[in-house]
Structure 1
Amino acid sequence: MKLIVQIPCYNEEATLALVVACIPRSIPGISKVEIQIIDDGSTDRTVEIARLCGVDHIVQNGRNKGLARSFQKGIESALALGADIIVNTDGDNQYSGGSIPDLVKPILEKQADIVVGDRKPGDNPEFSWLKRQLQKLGTRVVRNLSGVDVGDAVSGFRAYTREAAFTINVMTRFSYTTETLIHAGQHGLTVLSVPVETNPTTRPSRLAGSTYRFMKKQIVTILRSYFMYRSLNAFLWAGLIMITVGLLPVLRFLYFYAIGDGEGRLQSLVLGSMFLLAGYITVVIAFLSDALATNRRLTEAVLERVRRLEQQPSASEKQSDANEPLRIVGRSHDSV
């Protein structure tokens, strides 16, 4: 059982050595632990520090592409390296490496496909009161939309099985945390939360310049993911509500028109017609969006199959290496 711990990094020379040092190299149930960093165009000594610390694999972006894309690139690299379990942590030493065994335990026991480290953000004294409340609200929203029970939806400290990693497709540049949870819920993956230890904050988050911008980007990501997977429900209900609202003034006008008192009540007809037209268009959008969502699911299935096919040569090479001693023995026997 091979575990790869990946660390997306952008200018983390001050903390990377500590992060790497705290990652356990021996975990019960794991035969091999390797460390991989994804350098997102750092301009400091991050890559040099990684080499000095004995990091096993270094993946470099040519330029800064954002956390989400670095995360996706790391997942694809870890799969190519034959990882059975992939743990993602941050390069700022926010998460304690000592909690990695707790993260992978439910996977080793075959209880989960994805395990999310729960920092207990609602009780974290490192967070301001406003941030704690926003974290609670955001987690509640993601839990309802995704259908998975998590206590810390934006935690980047996570463990994935190889099978779960094959299905990951991150579209946003901002952050993968909420999008992948909604994705996991739609694909029927089992997601569990486990409490994890955190370290004192070393620097402000670089995901957004302020809490307002962070929440704004998270809301956009959540809505995009929701409409991507549940567009029929979202637009259909909105359209039906508008149609219902539009019918009321139209029926009112028809009633008065039928009894000969329709003069001067054209406003009801115009208003109702506007709502009916808007509702009709929204219902049409609902079905078109559902067709696009179906196409996305088919595309994801194709991408997953392509990823699996890309891994087959590696499996064949391993089998060939395993058979090599048998061919040598055979030739020795013939020579005798």
Structure 2
Amino acid sequence: MTDHQTVSTETVTRGPDISVVVPCYNESANVAPLVKALEQALAGRQWEVIFVDDNSPDHTSQRVRDLARNNARVRGICRIGRRGLSSAVIEGALSSSAQVVAVMDGDLQHDESRLGALIDAVLNNTCDVAVGSRHVEGGNNAGLANAWRHALSDGGIWLAQRVLPVKLTDPMSGFFALRQETFAAIAPRLSGTGFKILLDLLLSAAKPLRVQEVPCGFRPRVAGESKLDALVMLQFAALLLDKFAKGWVPLRFVAFCMVGLAGVGTNLAVMQCARLVGAHFAMAQAIGTVAAMILNFFLDNNFTYRDRRLRGWACMRGLVLFMLVCSVGALADVGIARMIYGQNHMLNEASLAGAILAVVWNYAMSSTVVWRS
């Protein structure tokens, strides 16, 4: 027997077959109940849950860490400086080594008991994507809080069905499953913006995916606040525009231009009001311009750059920077327009060239200076 004997014991366990990706923001109260519900729904299966949290102020990530210390099935990704459901799902799904990735919300509204049916449909190769649907026989959407949210959901479904390459009763669903390799193959073409990742997946696939719908209930929210609002639906419309443009025009630039049009209308309306109360043209124009800048900033902060939204003092600082950036853009607009007009070009051509330069300048500087990632 040797004087020194080293005994090495190594236990090797295989990884999970299923990863449940849960994008979340301010869902601290729902983390533990969701894990408990998944333990019942996925009993007998090799699974993990990956919470992808956008640095929630309610300490959602800390709650995930507390559970993960005593439960190897629980993993967490805390994202700093990045926001958005779609991009959260992409990061979570690409971090998985499981055969199947399932996606569900962190608010307990999705019926986790239907996960098994979604997963089996994918594993049995009867489809590429299994979708939990509220609108097939046996499903319901009773969890939508009021008539306004029903109208938003129904309007989004109607619009999505007009453009999808596959038949789907619930394209707005956030509850679905697919093979990890399928997700990874599509991921480079995803926009990663907004809240409707399923629609993005279906529109980004190189060829139409085989879809199977599984009846699913949608329960009322118990804790936390719903993220569905009119801005989410605007992001949804922008996603469709991005897909029609085949990615040639950045989705964020499309949104920035949409907000800019709202600013033009505001500028004209405020100028007219100022003129009616006796302001001379230069003063009315200045008032209208400032009003449009302020409106554009707050719309961009809550819509175009929602994933980088500024708050508190950072928001006030951002407003000042945005107004400076737009002021330079306005001066460039006038200068370029005068230069082109002076070279014997038509007035409309000169004005259009100046406006295009101003928009590109404002967008580039807003993305790199005001809303730095």
Tell me the TM-score normalised to structure 2 length: 0.54
Q: What amino acid does structure 2 have at the position aligned with 1:116?
A: V
Displacement after TM superposition at 1:117 (Å): 1.0
Q: Does the 8 Å CA contact 1:9/1:40 hold for their aligned counterparts? A: yes
Q: Does the 8 Å CA contact 1:182/1:226 hold for their aligned counterparts? A: no
Matched position secondary structure for 1:6? strand
Q: Does the 8 Å CA contact 1:123/1:132 hold for their aligned counterparts? A: no
1:86 aligns with 2:101: yes
The aligned length equals 223
Matched position secondary structure for 1:4? strand
Task: State the distance in 1 between where 2:22 and 2:53 align.
Answer: 8
Tell me the TM-score normalised to structure 1 length: 0.59
Task: Give 5+ residue unaligned stretches, structure 1.
Answer: 232-336
Deviations 1:13-40 (A, max 9, x none): 1111111111146758x75111111121
Instruction: Identify the range of structure 1 (51-60 vs 103-112) with the bigger mean alpha-carbon deviation.
Output: 51-60
Matched position secondary structure for 1:225? helix
Larger C-alpha radius of gyration, 1 or 2?
1
Displacement after TM superposition at 1:77 (Å): 0.3
1:181 aligns with 2:198: no
Deviations 1:31-58 (A, max 9, x none): 5111111121122231232233335322
Task: State the distance in 2 between where 1:230 and 1:52 align.
Answer: 44
Matched position secondary structure for 2:28? coil
1:95-106 matched pairs, under 5 angstroms? 95-106=110-121
Q: Does the 8 Å CA contact 1:8/1:90 hold for their aligned counterparts? A: yes
Displacement after TM superposition at 1:89 (Å): 1.0
Task: State the distance in 2 between where 1:31 and 1:123 align.
Answer: 27
Q: What amino acid does structure 1 have at the position aligned with 2:114?
A: S
Match of 1:125 among 109, 134, 142: 142
Displacement after TM superposition at 1:72 (Å): 0.9
Q: Does the 8 Å CA contact 2:166/2:208 hold for their aligned counterparts? A: no
1:138 aligns with 2:156: yes
| Change in CA separation of 1:31 and 1:13 when aligned onto 2, cut-off 3 Å | closer
Q: Does the 8 Å CA contact 1:16/1:91 hold for their aligned counterparts? A: yes
| Change in CA separation of 1:130 and 1:62 when aligned onto 2, cut-off 3 Å | closer
1:77 corresponds in structure 2 to 95
1:185-200 matched pairs, under 5 angstroms? 186-200=206-220
Displacement after TM superposition at 1:123 (Å): 5.5
Q: Does the 8 Å CA contact 2:41/2:113 hold for their aligned counterparts? A: no
Match of 1:224 among 233, 236, 242: 242
CA RMSD after TM alignment: 2.7
2:336 corresponds in structure 1 to none
Task: State the distance in 1 between where 2:169 and 2:98 align.
Answer: 26
Q: What amino acid does structure 2 have at the position aligned with 1:198?
A: F
1:161 corresponds in structure 2 to 179
Matched position secondary structure for 1:86? strand
Q: Does the 8 Å CA contact 2:142/2:218 hold for their aligned counterparts? A: no
Matched residues, percent identical?
A: 24
Task: State the distance in 1 between where 2:150 and 2:25 align.
Answer: 26
